[in-house]
Amino acid sequence: MCVGVHSRGVASVALSYEEGTVRVESDASLDALDLPGVEYDPRSETGRAPAYRYADLRDALAERAGADLAVEDRVFELPSLSLSSTYRLREYQRAALDAWLTGEGNAGTGPHERGVLELPTGSGKTVIGIAAMEEIGTPTLVVVPTIDLLDQWRGELEREFDVPVGQLGGGQQRVADVTVSTYDSAYLRADDLGDRFGLVVFDEVHHLGGEGYRDIARLLAAPARLGLTATFERPDGAHEAISDLLGPLVHRVDVADLAGEHLAEYDIKRLEVALTPEEREVYERHQETFTDYLAQSGIQLRSGSDYQELVKRSGNDPRAREALLAKQRAREVMMNAERKVDRLATLLDRHRTDRVIVFTAHTDLVYRLSERFLIPAITHETPASERSAILEGFREGSYSRIVTANVLDEGVDVPDANVAVVLSGSGSEREFTQRLGRILRPKDDNGRALLYELVTEETAEERVARRRR
């Protein structure tokens, strides 16, 4: 790279995209330019920055361009798209979109057309994403975590926009000006597609916090970035990395803000059940093995890293391995308690005329409940065709209840229900919010939705329930 200034006294800077980076060529010193994120690359004698810093570079150079600095931006050569949908935004959806467009939301401030929106399940996040595409009018990549969401988004986009819709994932690799991709496919193709889209929409954006998936956002130069989720913050703190790559949380809408008008009013009832004497003996024995090891080892489970330390020790310490197995067995006893099943029988009888979804943490229990109560079961083992048939039957009314283990928490278009029963689950606020969202669509009769939590008393499940609430 040359150091100095153009002979006519005007320095020049050119930006271009190259395999996940923005290449910066200039006849002026990089140090003098002091561009955000740019480092000198001795191999090419140019400056380079991660592709996601493109918008920062563009804006910084736009401020300096003038009589003594000529700027040439070759990163994008994109067509302008004329997109129009039939959707009319509700007031809260418009407010969320405006917060993203301006970067001035009720939960933070950031650059315009960048950032994350947090809205409850069932509030129409997809509609906001489509409206953002209309506003920006640029080729757009929509990234989703599951094949179900891939199909749902593609169907919505094909219905709303008169343009071809590409697909990456689900057996297809077709790129168009509007393309929907799974996170996995986007991860594999990101460096090839980095200069292909001016807007990227990440649905269920909390998935982007995964270490590998972050590369999708790093390798794309798209200056406009939108994240959609019902629960942004992650227990591991990875939402901070998402903020760096997409922009901050710029708008949040709580379930309570929409209940009664745009979502159903709801109640949450916590029901405690006792272990049988036999279950109590097994639970206490395994729990004591676990707590005794913690006391002897000095490990205090205050964070995820503490638990990871225990897992690491179990690789070469038989006592640590025994403690982990004991914890797992105690957990299985408390989460699959027989009296939970008995209480479920009472609830199903009470809600004979309602539409009920039963959630559990374990696949084995799903099949037990399916067999005992003759309820269709959906697990990760259920073939896609069978799952679709069950959900369609639930939608049409052939089935009034289904039982599942985690599969329906997110990423699946679940038909309307008004009662949920959580037999067991994790301490994740996200999981609880997603399950609650499955019953919050407005009811024709303006009825209230109802979620039951079944918790085994005098066990660690009481702490789990408090944590997720």
pLDDT at site 468: 66
Residue 444 has pLDDT above 70, yes or no: no
- Paired strand residues for 359: 404, 422
When mean pLDDT is compared across 127-141, 291-305, 434-448, the lowest value belongs to 434-448
Distance of CA 368 to the CA centre of its chain: 30
For residue 41, the domain's CATH number is 3.40.1170.30
**Together in a domain, 158 and 226:** yes
Between residues 1 and 323, the one the model is more confident about = 323
**Together in a domain, 210 and 141:** yes
Laid out side by side, the sheet with 11-18 consists of 39-41, 46-50, 21-26, 11-18, 69-73
pLDDT at site 395: 85
Answer yes or no: is 248 within a domain. yes
For the chain, the C-alpha Rg in angstroms (whole number) is: 26
2 pLDDT tier (thresholds 50, 70, 90) = very low
Residue 63 has pLDDT above 80, yes or no: yes
pLDDT at site 183: 95
pLDDT at site 362: 86
Most confident range, picked from 2-6, 249-253, 316-320: 249-253
**Together in a domain, 99 and 137:** yes
Average confidence (pLDDT) over 213-230 = 94
- Single residue among 231, 258, 285 that ends a domain in this structure: 258
- Single residue among 312, 335, 358 that ends a domain in this structure: 335
Residue 4 has pLDDT above 80, yes or no: no
Q: What's the total number of domains in the chain?
A: 4
Answer yes or no: is 1 within a domain. no
Taking all residues of the chain, what is their mean pLDDT, rounded to a whole number?
86
Residue 6 has pLDDT above 90, yes or no: no
pLDDT at site 413: 65
**Together in a domain, 345 and 312:** no
Answer yes or no: is 355 within a domain. yes
What is the domain range of residue 202? Answer: 91-258
**Together in a domain, 368 and 305:** no
Residue 217 has pLDDT above 50, yes or no: yes
**Together in a domain, 239 and 181:** yes
284: number of Cβ within 10 Å: 15
Backbone angles phi, psi at 340, to 5 degrees: -65, -40
For residue 100, the domain's CATH number is 3.40.50.300
Residues 251/106, Cβ–Cβ less than 8 Å: yes
Distance CA 306, CA 58 (A): 43
pLDDT at site 329: 92
- Single residue among 41, 73, 105 that ends a domain in this structure: 73
Give the CA distances from residue 293 to residues 161, 281, 287, 337, 343, in Å, rounded to whole numbers and listed in that order: 60, 19, 10, 25, 34
**Together in a domain, 311 and 208:** no
DSSP code for 263:
B
pLDDT at site 178: 97
**Together in a domain, 242 and 352:** no
Residues 177/162, Cβ–Cβ less than 8 Å: no
Question: What pTM, to 2 d.p., does this model score?
Answer: 0.76
Answer yes or no: is 79 within a domain. no
Residue 8 has pLDDT above 70, yes or no: no
What is the tens place of the pLDDT at every residue in 123-146?
889 999 999 999 999 999 999 998
**Together in a domain, 445 and 404:** yes
Answer yes or no: is 85 within a domain. no
Answer yes or no: is 393 within a domain. yes
Answer yes or no: is 146 within a domain. yes
Residue 107 has pLDDT above 60, yes or no: no
Distance CA 323, CA 288 (A): 9
pLDDT at site 441: 73
Distance CA 467, CA 302 (A): 13
Answer yes or no: is 353 within a domain. yes
What is the tens place of the pLDDT at every residue in 24-41?
988 877 777 788 888 888
**Together in a domain, 343 and 319:** no
**Together in a domain, 115 and 175:** yes
What is the tens place of the pLDDT at every residue in 332-382?
999 889 999 999 999 999 999 998 999 998 899 999 999 999 999 998 888
DSSP character string of 232-252 = ---TTSTHHHHHHHH--EEEE
pLDDT at site 9: 62
**Together in a domain, 317 and 342:** no
